[in-house]
Structure 1
């Protein structure tokens, strides 16, 4: 895949893992995704870039001081050219602003919020760092979806932020899944929303692998847990799992 150097407003552009054990996370993800790691140092709070072929694919970070009890989890960020404007819509649309817009020197501008059901998400306005330089390939983020018990509210909330159009998959009852698309690219989904019975909403991240069955074996070998044996889908063979620290994610076999 070519190097990615921009994202449209509303597209997931970055993911980072909050973990109290960055070294353990590196030992887990390095062999599975072929990542190398670069610690940005104390000035950036130990924020560590995950590199695939020398290009940024994702990041790892310890919980910030005072928030050491944060769960180990992947965080998803949406690209925007007007972070302040989008962040201002969060409360009006029924969400909860959490961490107001602030600058990351030499990188960009970020904010964090909760949607109406309580799922957390980030917003990113790029400067020098626009997001993942690799996407949709082995060793890179390849999909993001919101798992929530209230699909209708989620569709309305995120549609207020980014004017998504939606495409229903399934019957909307027993299987209620929507693809979210941007007005400038109505034929290309950028992320999805899955209605689940789980009362705890969360954004989930998918990473591409060359062989799903091999990835499943590595998960078990490296201290993670396979939650469902590899299975085939129209989008690739999947492995639903947790990493060695308990963070949920899905590996997807990509061409």
Structure 2
């Protein structure tokens, strides 16, 4: 399995979960995905933990920066220049939730919100480039913006990161929008359907698994909740949506060939 050492600007490069019960969250994902973890011992790091799979970094976990913040997964989009990207975010109608800051020698980041309300982070690599393993069981498989206004979201992200959009029909509803850098599909935009319309916009984190049904059963054993039972998506794979015991929502996807 190849190791990822760099990410093109606009590519999801990292995910981390914020949790007010960090030990409980870490235990859940270690048991579910077979991850190892190591917490940063520097006092300024605030207990940030790095998850790894087979010795390669896959995700992070952090306590909340403010009291009362719910547990959630965050998507980081790669950039060569955080400050320039922040300028484009503002020009395109987005806003900042966290101004640019340096994270030790690891990199430089900011947290933003698109015009539809979905929060995302941007990451300029220093010593930390992002996930070293992806698209393998127990690692990041996909990220998508789930929103009530896919057209506005797509226009925003294209303006900021230079994506091209491929529209994939989805029955009677809005098409699924695939964000592409050249020929490479890097992320998606999903318009919330009637059942979910009105829910807050967010970026979803999807992890690859060998068997979606087994992953769902194991998550339930560990105290997780099933939000969407396993279902087959043509040409994509077998998918399910889950919530961990502390409240963070994530998704799992088994490749149709597995």
TM-score of the two chains, using structure 2 as the length reference:
0.94
Go from structure 1 to structure 2 and tell me whether the alpha carbon gap of 1:161 and 1:173 turns closer, same or farther (over 3 Å shift).
farther
* 1:133-172 matches, cutoff 5 A: 133-170=132-169
Name the counterpart of 2:46.
45
1:25 Cα deviation from its structure 2 partner: 1.0
Q: Secondary structure at the match of 2:183?
A: strand
Could you tell me how far 1:100 is from its partner in structure 2?
Answer: 1.2
Greater CA drift, 240-249 or 140-149: 240-249
Separation in structure 2 between the aligned mates of residue 175 and residue 118 of structure 1, nearest angstrom: 19
Give, in whole Å, the separation in 2 of the partners of 1:97 and 1:172. Answer: 35
Q: Which residue of 1 aligns with 2:248?
A: 247
Q: Deviations over 1:186-230 (max 9, x none)?
A: 222100000114321010000011111111101111111011221
Superposed displacement of residue 175, structure 1: 3.6
Residues in 2 aligned to 1:2 and 1:209: alpha-carbon distance in whole angstroms: 17
Corresponding residue SS for 2:29: helix
**Deviation of residue 171 (structure 1)?**
5.5
Q: Hey, what's the Cα distance between the residues in 1 that align with 2:170 and 2:133? A: 34
Alpha-carbon shift at residue 95 of structure 1 (Å): 0.7
Superposition pairs for residues 38-187 of structure 1, below 5 Å? 38-41=38-41, 42-64=43-65, 67-170=66-169, 174-182=173-181, 186-187=182-183
Output the CA distance in 2 between the equivalents of 1:209 and 1:134.
13
Spell out the pairing of 1:209-224 with structure 2 (5 A cutoff).
209-224=209-224
Deviations 1:80-109 (A, max 9, x none): 001110111112111111211111112000
Structure 2 alignment gaps of length 5 or more: none
CA RMSD, 1 decimal: 1.3
SS of residue matched to 1:239:
strand
SS in 2 for 1:131: coil
Give the Cα separation in 2 of the matches to 1:46 and 1:213.
33
Structure 1: any 5+ residue segments left out of the alignment?
Answer: none
User: Residues 87 and 248 of structure 1: is their aligned pair in 2 closer, same or farther, counting only changes over 3 Å?
Assistant: same
SS at match of 1:129: coil
SS at match of 1:244: coil
* Distance in structure 2 (CA, Å) of the matches to 1:172 and 1:159: 24
TM-score (norm 1): 0.95
- Report the alpha carbon displacement of residue 176 of structure 1 after superposing the two structures with TM: 2.4
Q: Deviations over 1:133-182 (max 9, x none)?
A: 00011110000000001011101101111110000011685142100001
Residue of structure 2 in register with 1:189 after alignment: 185
Q: Is the partner of 1:90 in helix, strand or coil?
A: helix
Secondary structure of 2:133's partner? Answer: coil
